[in-house]
Structure 1
Amino acid sequence: MTIYDPLYRRESRAARVGMTLLRMSQAVKALTASEVAGTGLTPVQAQALLFVRYTKPFLASVGRLAEALGVTHVTAIGVLDGLVRHGLVEKTTSPLDRRVTLLRLTPAGEEVCQRLGRFGHTLEEALAQLDEAELEALERGLGAVVWGLREAGVLQVAEPCRGCVHFQENAAPGSPEPHHCRLIQRYLSEADAKLACPDFTPSRPAV
């Protein structure tokens, strides 16, 4: 059965919720398109730019961007080529692995990111109409769905270090890089710890 079948949706709450999420995704596409109007960017280019801005510099690679956008490597390169032509992003070779291309913002890219500071605010305002208890229930429910999709390999979740199973806070007290990531075996500064990591794994999965 398909969630597009209205008779089936009457029988299945999961199908009704699934159709609601699908409709919301269509609305989000329209909202994000309107929010980037005037920047000269497409919504996916805006996402790519914000990925570079908020991801740890040593993890902001072309491959990671492709995962974050849910697209192929070739498609991600196409998105980036537009940003490079606009002078918003630069590509560099990783000093640890010459096969890896890292991404960084130019001053012009930083400026555009400032203009994208309210990207996604329309959706946030719509959700703010719910009371705190409703938001908490929605967050827990959607968190469980997101976790399931992540486990299925169809979704990437990038978050700052705190709350990640691999993160050791203050592993080297007094050091400029006091925190440690067990996954990549690297010490992190406080600034690094506050940036998103594509390998974020919550200590306790959402239930």
Structure 2
Amino acid sequence: MKKITSPFNINLQHESVDSQIMAALERLGESLRILLSTEAREHGLSPIQAQVIIFLHTHSPEKNTLSYLAKEFSLTKATLSDVIKVLVEKDLVQRKESPSDARSQTLALTPAGKKIAVKCGQFATPLLAPVGQLSQQQKLTVKHSLFTLIHSLYQQGVITIQRMCYTCVHFSPATPSPFCNLLKIDLTAEKLRLDCPEHEEKKEQKV
């Protein structure tokens, strides 16, 4: 059996490119967590509260339900319900009856919630400058690698919801370029999407 060592073991990390990549991804993830936490605190919010209002501001109403958000953030409905309760008390989120199902509710931002969502949504701005300094080819290489990793994690069930082209029923893996059968466009490296509003999940064989 192959021995598995931690990618964070600094005595072994420099001997493995795989471990170095994992450590680099962890550093980037930690940077994003710090930036999000800092921005959230400025508005009296926890990181998950900030993430929720950002999601509500940037996604369509049919996704703005307790059930969908619980899956999106890999939380139990009870935990997510507590998050929403606080946001309602802060007058940032309001509950609305679903027009299609009287038994369920959708969530919407209040005017105050929208203002804070816009500000919180800029938490990752400091990373845009170094990304912008990469050449176009470097950007596309990084994008392809990240999309491949995310798709693999989705197939393993680590990521429960993914709205990327690879997981959509409209995606056709044609050559030389994949194709979107809904938008009728070639999905060149530049046009592949990570979070598509027209996404319809296809049933995949999970690992």
TM-score (norm 2): 0.72
Distance 1:21 1:154 in 2: 16
2:168 aligned with 1:168: no
Q: Contact (CA 8 Å) 1:55, 1:196: kept in 2 or not?
A: no
Residues 12 and 200 (structure 1 numbering): CA distance in 2 closer, same or farther, change over 3 Å? farther
Q: Contact (CA 8 Å) 2:36, 2:120: kept in 1 or not?
A: no
Corresponding residue number in structure 2 for 1:142: 146
Q: Contact (CA 8 Å) 2:63, 2:69: kept in 1 or not?
A: no
Distance 2:41 2:120 in 1: 10
Deviation per CA, 1:61-101: give whole Å up to 9, x if none.
11211222232222211211111111111122333334543
Residues 26 and 115 (structure 1 numbering): CA distance in 2 closer, same or farther, change over 3 Å? closer
- Unpaired segments ≥5 residues, structure 2: 171-180, 185-194, 203-207
Higher relative contact order (CA 8 A, sep 6+): 1
Corresponding residue number in structure 2 for 1:7: 11
- Unpaired segments ≥5 residues, structure 1: 171-194, 203-207
Q: Contact (CA 8 Å) 1:157, 1:198: kept in 2 or not?
A: no
Distance 1:22 1:45 in 2: 22
Shift of 1:128: 2.1
Distance 1:53 1:32 in 2: 16
2:70 match: secondary structure: helix
Q: Contact (CA 8 Å) 1:3, 1:16: kept in 2 or not?
A: yes
1:45 match: secondary structure: helix
Corresponding residue number in structure 2 for 1:104: 108
State the aligned residue count. Answer: 176
Shift of 1:201: 4.8
Match among 48, 51, 54 for residue 47 of structure 1: 51
Aligned-residue sequence identity (percent) comes to 26
TM-score (norm 1): 0.72
Match among 157, 161, 164 for residue 162 of structure 2: 157
Following TM superposition, where does structure 1 have runs of at least 4 consecutive aligned residues deviating by more than 4 angstroms?
A: 195-202
Distance 1:26 1:119 in 2: 13
1:168 match: secondary structure: coil
Corresponding residue number in structure 2 for 1:180: none
Letter in 2 for 1:157: Q
Deviation per CA, 1:88-123: give whole Å up to 9, x if none.
111223333345431111122122223335231112
1:157 match: secondary structure: coil
Distance 2:87 2:163 in 1: 21
Shift of 1:8: 3.2
